[in-house]
A = this chain, B = another copy of it.
Amino acid sequence: MVKIAIMGCGVVGSGVADILLEKSEELSRKFNKKIELTRILDIRDLKGTPYEPFLTKDANEIINDPDINMVIMTIGGEEHAFTLTKKALEAGKHVVTSNKEIVAAFGRELVETAYNNSVRFMYEASAGGGIPIIRPLNICLASNDIYEIQGILNGTTNYILTKMYRDKMSFEEALAKAQQKGYAEADPTADVDGHDAARKIAILSSVAYDRFVDYKDVSCTGIRNISYEDLELSSANGFKIKLIARSINKDGKIEALVEPLLLGEDHMLAKVDSVFNGVLVKGSYTGDSMFYGKGAGKLPTASAILGDIIEILTGSSEHSLPGFVKEKAEMTTSKQDSFRFFVRLWKNSISTEEMEKIVVNSFGKVAIYCGESEVNRKKAALITGYLSREELDKKIEELTKSLNIKVENVIKVED
C-alpha cells in the first residue's frame, strides 16, 4: 500500500488530487499495487471541495506519519518547499515535485538525501510540464552521448510571441492578454526575462549530460525587446522567432543559454506555437528526437507527476546516484563562433532601393535586406551573412554613422 500526501493544493496539487481521486483504483489494479490519497496540506480551509476530508494545516502530520510513504510537493517558491521536501525525504518518504525552483537550486542535495534514505526524489513535471522528457533522457536515450538540447520551455513567452504575430500586437499588449488569461503572472519577470526557461534547461542538461549545470550559469536574454515588426519581417523571410533554451555539450564543456532565435520554417521547433512546449534532443545514436506537448497547466503537469508516482510503484528500490550529484559541469561560451544575425533597423526617409545599397555596402552581398514593415515604414530589417559578434558590432557602427539609421534589435539566426 502506497499512501500519498499532497503538499500544496494549488493548480497542480489539486490536479494531482483530482486524478488520484478518479484513478487510484484503476491504477492500483493496473500496476498491482494499492495507492491511496491520504492527506493534503494547505493553509486554506477549502470547505465544500473534494479535498476537504484530506486537509491538514500542519506539515508535521504528514512528515511524522510513518504510514505515508510518498509526498507530492506542489508548493511553489524555494525555501519553504525545500525545507519540507528535505524533511520528507529524511523521514523516508519518496518525493515527487513539479517545483522547478527547488529542483534547479537544490536538486543535487535533494537527490543525494533521497539516495541516502533509500527513497526517490522525482521531478519529471519540473521541465516541459506534461511532456515526458526526464524519463526518456534518463532511460530511453541513456546510451547516447547527448550533444545538444534545444527547447521551447516556457509556455508564457511562447504564447506572447504567437499572439503578437497573429494579432499584430506589441509585446506589452500580448503580455496583458496573457495575464488576463492566467498564462502570465502579475510580475512576469521569471517568464519574460527567461529565468524560468533557464531553470528548466539547467535541469534537462544536468540529466542529459550527467554533470551539474547550475541555472545561475545560464546566460539569459528574454523577449521584452521583441517587437511585432521583428516577427513580421522575419516571417516574410521564412523565419519564426522563438525563445529558445539551449545547451551544447562540446569537447567536455557545456554552453547553456536562453535567448530569442530566428528559426527556419523547417526547424521542428518552429511549429511549436502558443502555450505548447517542445524539446529537441540531439543524440549520438538517435540523431534528432523531439518531444512536444503542453508545457504547463493543471492536468498536463499533474499527469507528469502521476508518471513519476507510477515509476516509483513499478521501479526498483535500488538506484544509483546520478552523475550530476557528483560532478559540476565545466561551462563555456561561444563568443568566437560566427552566426547570421537578424538586425532590426529604424530608418528615416531612406527609400527601399537606397537601403538595399546601404545594406550591401556595409554587410556585403551575402546580406539580405528584408524590407520595411507594413505597419510602420520606418522599421526595417536585414539578415547578415556569417559574422562574429565583434565583426557585427563593427559593421553596425559603420551602418549607423548616418543619423538616419539606428539599430534597435539584434537576434541570432539558428540554421
Contact = CB atoms under 8 A, between A and B. Distances in A.
Interface of A: 15, 19, 23, 27, 30-32, 124, 130-132, 135-136, 139-144, 210, 266, 268, 271, 276, 283-294, 299-300, 302-304, 306-307, 310-311, 314-320, 323
A136 B292 CA distance: 12
Contacts of A288: 276, 292-294
A299 B285 contact: yes
Given A141-B307, A314-B316, 7 more contacts: A19-B143, A30-B210, A30-B320, A132-B132, A132-B139, A284-B299, A291-B291
User: DSSP class of A's interface residues: helix, strand, loop or mixed?
Assistant: mixed
A140 B294 contact: no
A204 B143 CA distance: 23
A130 B303 CA distance: 24
B142 A310 contact: yes
Instruction: Report the copy number of this chain in the oligomer.
Output: 2
B287 A268 contact: no
Contact of A314 (B31, B136, B139): B139
A73 to B, nearest CB: 18
A23 B143 contact: yes
Given A140-B135, A142-B30, A285 B303 contact: yes
B268 A283 contact: no
A288 B319 CA distance: 32
Contacts of A124: 140
A290 B289 contact: no
A32 B140 CA distance: 17
A184 B136 CA distance: 29
Nearest to A304: B140
A282 B304 CA distance: 14
A293 B286 contact: yes
B140 A132 contact: yes
A320 B310 CA distance: 12
B136 A136 contact: yes
A307 B141 CA distance: 6
The list of the 9 closest CB pairs from A to B, nearest first, reads A132-B140, A143-B306, A289-B293, A32-B320, A285-B303, A140-B307, A290-B292, A285-B299, A132-B136
Contacts of A299: 284-286
A271 B210 CA distance: 31
B210 A307 contact: no
B30 A323 contact: yes
A139 B285 contact: no
8 contacts: A31-B142, A131-B286, A143-B303, A271-B271, A283-B303, A285-B302, A288-B294, A316-B317
Contacts of A139: 132, 135, 307, 310-311, 314
A348 B307 CA distance: 59
A111 to B, nearest CB: 14
Contacts of A142: 27, 30-31, 306-307, 310
A30 B323 CA distance: 7
A167 to B, nearest CB: 17
Contact of A130 (B15, B289, B310, B319): B289
A291 B128 CA distance: 13
A286 B277 CA distance: 12
A136 B134 CA distance: 10
Contacts of A316: 314-317
B310 A143 contact: yes
B314 A300 contact: no
